Structure 1
């Protein structure tokens, strides 16, 4: 069962005749839950840039699969003559299927290639980043996206090592960098891999584009539910739902112009997090946070 399954579906307040979007179809768990709550006239549009997700499609005429990144949400829906919807769900975590496939390179537990592409049609891989980015680019990447404590040292070590050591697979990458690991190696490499994955897939850029499209796409009273898995994503969602921008604070306007009133009303004052029962069944859910907003 996907993370925060019941909480996310309840948050959407699904109407039987409504039109809904699952931005991250993955294993199809949330989509199947939406379909169960929809009547015969309801519609569901499921996005996933990972072609493997198509294998999980239920045999149901009410669902339309769109093999695209959710940053193209409005454009792809328009192609299906949909301009507004009753609800949008986005579960931003990497799917279990992706984590559990060694050749995809998402998990530190395996020895496959440093790949990490959610859309395998794209050229940029984690190996490409590790072997071509400058020391400054790598430092910024590990510091901002992975919150790696010794990001500067890590970046310098990678640049020094890659002249003589092939950094193409998970195994040789971890072995080569063993000397710079700070604290728990599993936690350290999880942060490093998170940073690389975010960069490979431009995850924060795609999330911002998705959020900016939500107010116009949602019908009045329609809801958006977003599940995040790290503080960078959560801050972006929280700020956008609250004030329609990505800044932590309202920046003072020197010309005294008032900003447009937000189009969304925050439903979850604090994010909803998994309970003890879910955490026992699925330890991967421990960092998940759900935020819900409603179109005014």
Structure 2
């Protein structure tokens, strides 16, 4: 009996078309979720698949698919930035394709107990995995300036200082431990016009990205995919907001062109492109998919094909706030 997936990934058909899985190939679904991409890949005869997810609920939900895949699917609970190490542990020195759907999943958003949504009252958690500090810990311990930076940089909230000030004032009165409490605090100082997004949207996004170190993870996952893809292997990434898409776009742009010597420093060896960019412009959902799934509206897909050039050195990460630093100072 076929099971109906709990969640259909955005741009699923397009992602698989750009990945172009071939018979007998080895692939990585770096953000397994409900297994939508994995199901499609496994339809190709002889494919072997490694599915990675930091959420053990997603891994547990995929056990039935593992059983039906006849040994062709291995699920691993881990961060997708560790995909090179995961592949090595599975005996895969090189793979034919990597697909990733970046950000929080609809399953996580729809579960009040996970604390991702301001529309559902629940504990202020927001962790994609099940270990480490929660959003409530950050809200309780970060300084006003740190909170403002987190909300501004990762949430792109222009009222970040006002929001941070309100959070600090509120926590002096009582701990902020629920999503509704935080949403109410933000709504009390950020005014929304009719038709605008909820006033707490950007604050919740900023805290979620910060707690899960999502942008650092994405940087790491892209570099890891570059290292494990064999020549001709493809990397397909679906992202959902400008911060993620900018990272993917810049990564492909840097890896898709020659770099090195200049007239000022001609002694530097030329670095050959490690990727050939396949999508000159991002692929976006059509009207039908947007109508069926409003969460698809902001999605962008980018794809590139690995060349035979060596992987580039990993770039230094931006100097934005980091979870360990904020909690160490708290």
Under TM normalisation by the shorter chain, which class is it?
over 0.9
1:156 correspondence with 2:161: no
Q: Count residues with an aligned counterpart.
A: 290
C-alpha RMSD over aligned residues: 2.0
CA gap of 1:151–1:259, structure 2 versus 1, over 3 A, is farther
Given candidates 129, 134, 145, the residue that maps to 1:136 is: 145
In the aligned structure 2, how far is the partner of 1:47 from the partner of 1:269?
28
CA shift at 1:132, angstroms?
0.5
Q: Which ranges of structure 1 fall in alignment gaps of 5 or more residues?
A: none
1:24 to 24, 31, 47: 31
CA–CA separation in structure 1 for the residues paired with 2:269 and 2:254: 12
Q: Deviations over 1:155-174 (max 9, x none)?
A: 12211221113211011112
CA gap 1:270/1:54 in 2 versus in 1, 3 angstroms? same
Q: Output one character per residue of 1:134-179: Cα deviation in whole Å (capped at 9) or x when no partner.
A: 1111111111111101111111221122111321101111223332
Deviation at 1:87, TM superposition (A): 0.3
Deviation (angstroms), 1:258 = 5.5
> Which residue in the other structure is 1:239 paired with?
250
Q: After TM superposition, which residue ranges in structure 1, 4 or more long, deviate above 4 angstroms?
A: none
- 2:3 counterpart residue number: none
Contact 1:242-1:262 at 8 Å conserved across structures: no
CA distance in structure 2 between the partners assigned to 1:188 and 1:30 by the alignment: 33
Q: Distance in 2 between matches of 1:31 and 1:217?
A: 18
The corresponding residue for 2:176 is 167
The answer to whether the aligner puts 1:182 opposite 2:191 as a matched pair is yes
- Give, in angstroms, the shift of residue 123 of structure 1: 2.1
Partner residue of 2:40 out of 27, 33, 41: 33
What TM-score, normalized by structure 2, do the two folds share?
Answer: 0.84
Question: Bigger CA drift: 78-87 or 187-196?
Answer: 187-196
User: Which residue of 287, 292, 300 maps to 1:281?
Assistant: 292
Match of 2:15 in 1: 8
Tell me the secondary structure at the aligned position of residue 198 of structure 2: helix
What's the counterpart of residue 193 of structure 1? 204
